[in-house]
Structures are given as C-alpha cells and as structure tokens.
C-alpha cells in the first residue's frame, strides 16, 4: 500500500473483500441451490459495500464501527455454506 489513502479503493481490506467476493461468485456459479447461492453472493458483496459506504462518510467513529459490526457477521456466509454439505 504505502501511499496516502484517498478513496476506499485504496484500502487493502476493501480490495481483499472484492477479491473474496469475485472468488465466491466464481465458485458458486454452478451451484444448483439458487437460494443458497444468491444468499451467499449477496452476503459477500455486503462487506466491501459497507466499507465503501462508511469510508465515504469520513468519520472515524462510523468507519471503525463498520469493521466491528462486519467482523461479528462474517461467519454468516460460512455457516450457511458449510451447513449445506454437513
């Protein structure tokens, strides 16, 4: 990273979130359980979207709340995904 952060696209956490979202979409494109696939794909998009939204508000309190809130809800897609095959 190294440079000044001027936009949310400069954040490594947002970039990694987008990479994970693309990977999830790619891996689930042939999933025949459309409800499960759609729920997981929507959930994966919400993390980078929330980071971008909070960054644009430019308040540290809201921005850091976003990370706390998202960390608490990160397990939801994984639980839904793994419960399908257990």
With 0-12 / 13-18 / 19 or more C-beta atoms within 10 angstroms meaning exposed / middle / buried, residue 47 is buried
Distance CA 74, CA 52 (A): 16
Is pLDDT at 63 greater than 80 in this prediction? no
- As given in the structure block, the two tokens for residue 9 are 């696209």
Is pLDDT at 86 greater than 50 in this prediction? no
72, part of any domain: yes
pLDDT value at position 50?
87
Structural domain span for residue 34: 9-83
4, part of any domain: no
45, part of any domain: yes
Q: Kindly report, residue by residue over 11-60, the tens digit of the pLDDT.
A: 898 999 999 999 999 999 999 999 999 999 999 999 899 888 888 877 66
Sign of the Cα pseudo-torsion (9, 13, 15, 20, in order): negative
1, part of any domain: no
The number of domains in the chain is: 1
Provide φ and ψ at 54, rounded to 5°.
-70, -40
Q: For residue 4, what are the contacts with CB-CB under 8 A and spacing of at least 6?
A: 10
């Amino acid at each position: 990273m190294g440079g000044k952060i001027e936009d949310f696209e400069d954040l490594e956490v947002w970039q990694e979130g987008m990479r994970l979202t693309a990977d999830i979409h790619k891996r689930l494109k042939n999933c025949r359980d459309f409800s499960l696939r759609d729920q997981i794909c929507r959930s994966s998009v919400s993390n980078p979207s929330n980071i971008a939204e909070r960054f644009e508000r430019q308040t540290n309190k809201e921005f850091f709340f976003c990370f706390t809130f998202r960390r608490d809800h990160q397990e939801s897609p994984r639980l839904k995904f793994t419960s399908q095959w257990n």
